[in-house]
C-alpha cells in the first residue's frame, strides 16, 4: 500500500505543534494532556507506517505507545499532580516561552541542514528524512523544556518529550541500532529522576531539589566548623 | 475596466460594508449570552451607526486637519482592501488587483491614520492608545507578513483571487492538509488585528486596558461612525481569509457562475461568517486579557505555525 504522505506530513506538523504547546503552556494538567496527545500522534504515525506495508515491529510500537504513553504515564502523572497540588508552572529560567519557540524553529532548520546532507547518501525519500529531522527536533524541544522550566514535574514531561522524539526518529531510521540504546538511556534517566524526586520530595522546584541534595553535606560541614 | 469587474467591485464592497456590523453584533450577543445577559439586539450596530451619522461632529480645539480626514482615509483604505478580498464571488485577476502585499499595506495605512488621529487631539488617552497600538503592531506586523507568506507559499500565488480560486469548491481544508496550522495562525491575527481579548478588550473604556477604544475616544458623530465601520470591515476581511481558504463552500467564479451562484455565495458567506463570529465570541468569553508582556508568546505561536507550514512545504 502507498504511504499517505499528506497525512504523515499533517501528523508531523501536529507533533511539533504539541511540543511547542508543552514549551509555552503554564497549566500542569494541560501540559500532561498535550503530552498524551503528542504520544497519540506518534502512535498514529507508527500505525500508518505499519498499514502502508511496514514490519510488525511498527504495530508493536504503535500499541505500546498507545498503552504506555497515551494512557498509563499521563494517568500516573495526573495522579501525582493531584497529590502535589501544583496546578500551574509559571516560572521560566534562561529562556522565555517566546524565545524558546523562536529557538525551536531555528533548531528545526539547523537539524534539517545538518541531517539532509548525511541522510541523502542513504537514498531515503524526503518524507523519511523529514521524519528523522522532526524526531531530532522533538528531542531538542524536549531538552528546551527541561532547562527552561523550574517545576520538576514539567521537566519530567520534557524528558518524556525527548523520548518521544527518539521514537519518532527510530520510526523513520530503523536501521540505526544506536537509537535503541539512546531510547534506553533516556528512559533510564527519566526513571532515575523520578526515583530521586520521589525520595526527596516531588513538590519542590529544581533549585530546592538541589538544595535538598546538598543540605546533608553542608549541614555536616557547618557542624564541623562550629566545633 | 470591464463591466464584470466593476459589478464585482461594487457588489463585493457593498456586501462587506453591509454585513460587517452584523458580525460585530453576533460577537457582542454571544458574549452577553455567555455572561448570562440578554445583550443588545443583533442589529444594534446598525442603529448605533444610523444615530452617529445624524449627530454633529465635534472636534477638540487642539486637533488639526488630521483628525478630520483620518476616518475618511481609514474607510477608503479598507474599502480598497475589500476590493482585493472576494467574499461571495471570485473574479479573474485583472488590473493588478488582488495582490496580498497591497492588501497588507491598505490595512497598515488605515491603522496608521487611526493612530495618528489618536495622537492628534492631544489628549492623554488618545496618545496612550496610539502608543500601545503601535507597540503591538511593531510585533505583530512581521508575523502577519510571515503568515501571509506561508499562505502564498502553500498556494503558489501572491494573488488573493488566485488563492481563493485554488481552494474554492474543494471542501474543508481543501488544498493541502499542511495548511491546517495556518487556521490557528490566521485566527490569532484576526483576534489581534480586531483588538479582541486576550490582546485588547473592545468592551472596556478603562484607561489601564484599552488600546483601540482609546485611539477613537476623541472621535464623534459621523467620524466615529466611519471609524466603527472601518473596524468592522477590517474584521470581515480577515474573517474572509479564514472562511474562503479553509471552508470555501458556496463561493463561485464571476462572471461564469452568474447571479444565482453569487446569491448562493452571499448566503453561504453570511452563514459561515455568523458561525465564525460566534466562535470569536466564545473564544473571547473563555479567555482573560493577557498582560502586555505576555502577548509576544501568543504572536510567536502564530509565527511558529506559519514558519512550520513553510518548512513543511519546502522540505517534506
Note the pLDDT of residue A222: 54
Question: Residue B159 pairs with which residues in a beta bridge?
Answer: B99
Q: Do B301 and A24 touch (CB under 8 A)?
A: yes
Going by pLDDT thresholds of 50, 70 and 90, the confidence category of residue B32 is: very high
Note the pLDDT of residue B267: 95
| Interatomic CA distance for residues B312 and B26, integer angstroms | 36
Average pLDDT of B9-25?
96
Q: Do A7 and B178 touch (CB under 8 A)?
A: no
Closest approach of A60 to chain B, Cα-based (Å):
26
Of all residues in chain B, the percent with pLDDT exceeding 70 is 96
Closest approach of B160 to chain A, Cα-based (Å):
24
Average pLDDT of A181-204?
60
* B96 phi and psi angles, rounded to 5 deg: 70, 15
Of all residues in chain B, the percent with pLDDT exceeding 90 is 60
The percent of chain A in helix, strand and coil, each rounded to the nearest 5, is 85, 5, 15
| All cell numbers assigned to B129 | 492608545
The domain total for chain B is 1
Cis? peptide before B255, omega within 30° of 0: yes
**Which residues in A lie closer than 8 A to residue B305 (C-beta atoms)?**
17
* Cα B189 → chain centroid: 9
Least confident of A197-206, B103-112, B127-136: A197-206
Sign of the dihedral defined by the CA atoms of residues A205, A206, A211, A216, in that order = positive
Q: How many CB pairs under 8 A join A and B?
A: 62
Sign of the dihedral defined by the CA atoms of residues B9, B172, B302, B202, in that order = positive
Cis? peptide before A149, omega within 30° of 0: no
Note the pLDDT of residue B73: 97
Q: Do B308 and A13 touch (CB under 8 A)?
A: yes
Going by pLDDT thresholds of 50, 70 and 90, the confidence category of residue A184 is: low
Q: What is the CB neighbour count within 10 angstroms for residue B31?
A: 20
- First vs last Cα of chain A: how many Å apart? 78
DSSP state of A94: S
Note the pLDDT of residue A226: 45
- Residue with the bigger pLDDT between B33 and A214: it is B33
Of A10, A104, A133, the CB nearest to B178: A10
Question: Helix, strand, or coil here: B99?
Answer: strand
Summarised one tens digit per residue, pLDDT across range B90-108 is 998 877 788 999 999 999 9
Average pLDDT of A5-22?
88
| Interatomic CA distance for residues A15 and B265, integer angstroms | 36
Chain B residues touching chain A at CB-CB below 8 Å: 176-178, 180-181, 296-297, 300-301, 303-305, 307-309, 311-312, 315-316
The domain total for chain A is 1
Q: Per-residue pLDDT for B33 more than 90? A: yes
- Among B304, B309, B313, pick the best mutation site for testing chain A contact (most A Cβ within 10 A): B304
For residues A116 and A142, is the Cβ–Cβ distance under 8 A? no
Q: What domain range includes position B140?
A: 3-315
| Interatomic CA distance for residues B88 and B270, integer angstroms | 9
* Nearest chain A residue (CA) to B175: A6
* Cα B273 → chain centroid: 12
Going by pLDDT thresholds of 50, 70 and 90, the confidence category of residue A227 is: very low
Chain A residues touching chain B at CB-CB below 8 Å: 6-7, 9-10, 12-14, 16-17, 20, 24, 96-98, 101-102, 104-105, 108-109, 112, 116, 126-127, 129-130, 133
The CA distances from residue B146 to A102, B170, B304, B314, in Å, are 13, 25, 10, 15
Closest approach of B242 to chain A, Cα-based (Å):
19
Summarised one tens digit per residue, pLDDT across range B189-237 is 999 999 998 888 888 777 777 888 889 999 999 999 999 999 999 999 9
Q: Per-residue pLDDT for A188 more than 70? A: no
Report the C-alpha dihedral over residues A163, A164, A167, A173, rounded to 10 degrees: -100
* Cα B212 → chain centroid: 14
For residues A134 and A16, is the Cβ–Cβ distance under 8 A? yes
Note the pLDDT of residue A193: 63
**Which residues in B lie closer than 8 A to residue A130 (C-beta atoms)?**
312, 315-316
Cell 479553509, located at residue: B246
Tell whether pTM > 0.90: no
* B204 phi and psi angles, rounded to 5 deg: -100, 150
**Which residues in A lie closer than 8 A to residue B150 (C-beta atoms)?**
none
- Residue with the bigger pLDDT between A178 and B259: it is B259
Least confident of A14-18, A74-78, B196-200: A74-78
**Which residues in A lie closer than 8 A to residue B183 (C-beta atoms)?**
none
Average pLDDT of B3-28?
94
Amino acid at each position: 500500500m502507498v504511504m499517505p504522505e499528506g497525512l504523515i506530513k499533517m501528523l508531523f506538523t501536529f507533533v511539533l505543534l504539541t511540543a511547542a504547546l508543552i514549551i509555552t503552556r503554564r497549566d500542569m494538567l494541560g501540559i500532561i494532556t498535550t503530552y498524551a496527545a503528542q504520544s497519540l500522534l506518534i502512535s498514529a504515525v507508527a500505525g500508518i507506517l505499519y498499514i502502508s506495508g511496514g514490519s510488525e515491529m511498527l504495530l508493536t510500537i504503535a500499541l505500546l505507545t498507545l498503552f504506555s504513553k497515551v494512557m498509563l504515564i499521563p494517568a500516573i502523572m495526573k495522579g501525582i499532580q493531584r497529590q502535589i497540588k501544583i496546578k500551574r508552572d509559571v516560572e521560566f529560567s534562561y529562556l522565555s516561552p517566546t524565545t524558546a519557540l523562536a529557538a525551536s524553529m531555528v533548531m528545526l532548520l539547523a537539524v534539517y541542514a545538518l541531517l539532509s546532507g548525511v541522510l541523502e547518501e542513504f537514498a531515503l525519500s524526503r518524507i523519511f528524512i523529514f521524519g528523522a529531522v522532526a524526531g531530532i527536533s522533538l528531542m531538542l524541544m524536549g531538552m528546551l523544556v527541561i532547562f527552561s522550566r523550574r517545576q520538576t514535574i514539567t521537566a519530567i514531561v520534557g524528558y518524556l518529550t525527548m523520548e518521544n522524539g527518539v521514537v519518532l526518529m527510530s520510526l523513520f531510521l530503523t536501521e540505526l541500532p544506536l537509537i535503541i540504546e539512546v531510547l534506553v538511556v533516556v528512559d533510564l534517566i527519566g526513571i532515575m529522576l523520578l526515583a530521586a524526586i520521589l525520595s526527596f520530595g516531588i513538590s519542590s522546584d529544581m533549585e530546592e531539589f538541589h538544595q535538598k541534595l546538598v543540605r546533608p553535606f553542608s549541614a555536616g560541614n557547618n557542624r564541623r566548623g562550629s566545633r | 475596466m470591464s463591466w464584470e469587474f466593476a459589478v464585482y467591485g461594487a457588489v463585493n464592497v457593498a456586501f462587506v460594508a453591509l454585513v460587517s456590523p452584523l458580525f460585530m453584533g453576533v460577537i457582542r450577543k454571544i458574549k452577553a449570552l455567555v455572561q448570562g445577559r440578554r445583550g443588545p439586539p443583533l442589529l444594534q450596530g446598525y442603529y448605533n451607526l444610523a444615530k452617529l451619522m445624524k449627530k454633529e461632529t465635534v472636534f477638540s480645539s487642539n486637533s488639526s486637519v488630521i483628525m478630520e480626514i483620518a476616518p475618511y482615509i481609514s474607510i477608503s483604505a479598507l474599502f480598497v482592501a475589500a476590493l482585493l478580498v472576494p467574499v461571495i464571488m471570485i473574479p479573474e485577476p485583472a488590473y493588478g488587483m488582488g495582490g496580498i502585499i497591497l492588501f497588507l499595506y491598505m490595512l497598515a495605512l488605515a491603522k496608521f491614520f487611526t493612530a495618528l488621529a489618536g495622537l492628534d487631539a492631544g489628549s492623554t488617552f488618545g496618545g496612550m492608545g496610539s502608543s500601545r497600538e503601535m507597540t503591538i503592531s511593531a510585533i505583530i506586523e512581521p508575523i502577519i507578513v510571515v503568515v501571509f507568506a506561508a499562505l502564498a507559499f502553500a498556494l503558489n500565488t501572491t494573488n488573493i483571487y488566485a488563492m481563493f480560486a485554488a481552494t474554492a469548491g474543494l471542501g474543508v481544508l481543501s488544498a493541502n492538509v499542511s495548511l491546517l496550522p495556518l487556521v490557528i495562525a490566521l485566527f490569532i491575527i484576526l483576534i489581534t488585528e480586531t483588538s479582541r481579548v486576550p490582546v485588547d478588550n473592545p468592551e472596556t473604556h478603562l484607561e489601564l486596558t484599552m488600546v483601540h477604544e482609546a485611539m477613537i475616544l476623541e472621535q464623534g458623530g459621523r467620524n466615529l461612525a466611519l471609524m466603527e465601520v472601518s473596524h468592522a470591515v477590517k474584521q470581515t476581511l480577515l474573517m474572509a481569509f479564514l472562511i474562503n481558504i479553509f471552508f470555501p463552500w458556496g463561493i463561485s467564479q464571476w462572471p461564469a457562475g452568474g447571479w444565482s451562484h453569487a446569491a448562493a455565495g452571499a448566503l453561504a458567506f453570511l452563514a459561515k461568517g455568523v458561525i465564525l463570529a460566534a466562535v470569536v465570541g466564545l473564544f473571547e468569553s473563555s479567555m482573560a486579557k493577557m498582560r502586555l508582556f505576555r502577548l509576544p508568546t501568543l504572536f510567536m505561536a502564530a509565527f511558529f505555525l506559519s514558519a512550520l507550514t513553510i518548512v513543511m512545504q519546502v522540505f517534506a
